[in-house]
Structure 1
């Protein structure tokens, strides 16, 4: 790609216009009012531009809400997997602890039986009744060691019992969290399906010509945002070169172009936005958080002018979307339901900030 501003802008315009990009879900919009229904304008009398603009804004809002719910679903799914693994680990500890407890009880029983066989008489009485006092004194040391061993046995048995009670309590707590996250997943799943269903229903009410014009409005909105971003001169400041891991992450992400968006998906056949970025960096040897919000929270923040290919651009105030910067003002991302992994302009959506997985 060219390095001059005019060449970069022309290239970015070509990139953005060549694909259908996500316009601006998550932006606060006024209520667009009535939307097309059964009496939607026909192809011979298409809706006015401002009506379709209202439809576009409502679609953006619906898909944004679906993206937020998807992040909640992914977070709950991740926590569910961790809690399930913790419960399995605790169950193993309980089994091992119970086995150890049984062994200790057997040893304690044997020690008690041995004491019973000696009659349980005090040491003084055994010394007076002994035919060979020296033999008794010689054995006293061994007896003392045995008593100490018995005390140690009892202490270990007590600790094992306490550990078992703690393991059981921890398992119960993890189970309660697991159930809570399962409910959170179900709630998020329902929200996602509702939002996507409403968006699809809204689009299905449009005639073919209206759908084409709606797609054009989306491209125009994305192009306008990208052009404004480029006109700020930001690319003149971005000079970062990709790290080796960053190159691998970019290669993986761009290798998924054309695969469909699917909420909750992490590949290999489909992806959601953070599923793509997390898997790309996992392939590069650097595991990162699963959700866009956690990627924003946990990864190192870098200034936009210091951005380099492989870095992740997080969008919207609620960090509900994430993409990978690939250089020359472009990103690769999984936009939304109904779309495929694609290249778009880095400034085509409101940027919250940039994070670097391999800082």
Structure 2
């Protein structure tokens, strides 16, 4: 979701001014011709604010992706625990049934053994502690009761773990809803700012972005790529890159990981998965999967990370170019390595 241009960082005064002007205009509907109208924000100020909102939204998106990954892990863990508990209960019922059969046989033959009476009137733990002093347990019954005791303990533990995991899952799902609302709010705010501009002003922003991109590519002496020609080479990194190249033009959708749409880390994780390599879901986690590299050390297929908090990631395509999923309203594309604030690359181990 990263911007295609290095956003101009407005001063604190400019941001405050912009926010005040926008709020005033939205609240009381002051027109530009009114004698008391606040100055309208400039195109540069609008673009800087929009870029900032998109960056904030992408940072929250990566938090959302991490939470979604944890949600999937918890769902699998809960399912496993519940399955294990169900199997444990069946085994426990079978053991208790076998002990009940012994009781029935003893009753038919003239009465219940005291040990069986004791078991049927209390829990296994109490039975074993009392029976051990009374020496009332036959070898086979003692073994069965010890199995029951052990399985009951395991079953209780599994049920407690499942309950804890379900509670965490419920809390996580609430957090996911809040994060989704935050992302949507920032995207809506960015769109509202752009909607304040005229069609001509929006065209000027698009033209400026294109000019900034060209300037950055010229500065890096990179030759822009625009086709889907596969990169030659072998290994899973090149294979992952070619899978990503095959998705050029696919739309950006926050939280998406293919195959029809992607966010930034969704594209990289999907591409490497097609090449047979599992990557973590978030850009920050992906930054720790291999050896860090400087710009001069990059090879096709290496992961490349941008911004200080590493909230954006792409795949190095060679010749100073990166394949990435940019931001809402845009599609998977090539971009120059230096268009965004590059931090480092990672060669997947």
TM over 0.5: yes
Partner residue, 2:159: 168
Deviation larger for 300-309 or 53-62: 300-309
1:249 corresponds, among 240, 260, 264, to 240
Matched, 1:91 2:82: yes
Does the C-alpha gap of structure 1 residues 346 and 209 become closer, same or farther in structure 2, counting only changes over 3 Å? same
Does the C-alpha gap of structure 1 residues 292 and 170 become closer, same or farther in structure 2, counting only changes over 3 Å? same
Deviation (angstroms), 1:227? 4.7
Q: Is the 8 A contact 2:264 2:325 kept in 1?
A: yes
Partner residue, 2:56: 65
Q: Is the 8 A contact 1:267 1:275 kept in 2?
A: yes
Deviation larger for 252-261 or 111-120: 111-120
Partner residue, 2:327: 336
1:80 corresponds, among 71, 94, 97, to 71
Deviation (angstroms), 1:218? 2.3
Larger radius of gyration: 1
Matched, 1:347 2:338: yes
RMSD over equivalenced CA pairs, Å: 3.1
Task: Give the unaligned 5+ runs of structure 2.
Answer: 34-38, 115-136, 223-231
**What are the residue-to-residue correspondences of 1:128-147 with 2, within 5 Å?**
147=138
Cα deviations by residue, 1:313-351 (Å, 9 ceiling, x for unpaired): 011111111111010100011100111111000111111
Partner residue, 2:168: 177
Partner residue, 2:194: 203
Matched, 1:109 2:94: no
Partner residue, 1:312: 303
In structure 1, C-alpha distance between the alignment counterparts of 2:62 and 2:45, rounded to whole Å = 26
* Secondary structure in structure 1 of the residue aligned to 2:50: helix
In structure 1, C-alpha distance between the alignment counterparts of 2:341 and 2:233, rounded to whole Å = 23
**What are the residue-to-residue correspondences of 1:169-318 with 2, within 5 Å?**
169-229=160-220, 243-318=234-309
* Secondary structure in structure 2 of the residue aligned to 1:105: helix
Greater RCO structure (CA 8 Å; 6+ sep)? 1
Does the C-alpha gap of structure 1 residues 311 and 279 become closer, same or farther in structure 2, counting only changes over 3 Å? same
Deviation (angstroms), 1:72? 1.6
Partner residue, 2:123: none
Equivalent pairs counted in the alignment come to 302
In structure 2, C-alpha distance between the alignment counterparts of 1:313 and 1:93, rounded to whole Å = 42
Deviation (angstroms), 1:214? 1.1
Deviation larger for 202-211 or 97-106: 202-211
In structure 1, C-alpha distance between the alignment counterparts of 2:212 and 2:337, rounded to whole Å = 13
In structure 1, C-alpha distance between the alignment counterparts of 2:8 and 2:148, rounded to whole Å = 59
In structure 2, C-alpha distance between the alignment counterparts of 1:97 and 1:286, rounded to whole Å = 36
Q: Is the 8 A contact 1:222 1:349 kept in 2?
A: no
Deviation (angstroms), 1:114? 5.4
Q: Is the 8 A contact 1:242 1:310 kept in 2?
A: no
TM-score computed with the length of structure 1 as normaliser: 0.75
Q: Is the 8 A contact 1:302 1:355 kept in 2?
A: yes
Deviation (angstroms), 1:26? 11
* Secondary structure in structure 2 of the residue aligned to 1:287: coil
Task: Give the unaligned 5+ runs of structure 1.
Answer: 1-19, 43-47, 122-145, 232-240
Cα deviations by residue, 1:283-339 (Å, 9 ceiling, x for unpaired): 111010111121123444334332211111011111111111010100011100111
In structure 2, C-alpha distance between the alignment counterparts of 1:155 and 1:179, rounded to whole Å = 36
In structure 1, C-alpha distance between the alignment counterparts of 2:168 and 2:160, rounded to whole Å = 13
Partner residue, 1:9: none
Cα deviations by residue, 1:147-172 (Å, 9 ceiling, x for unpaired): 33322211111111011111111111
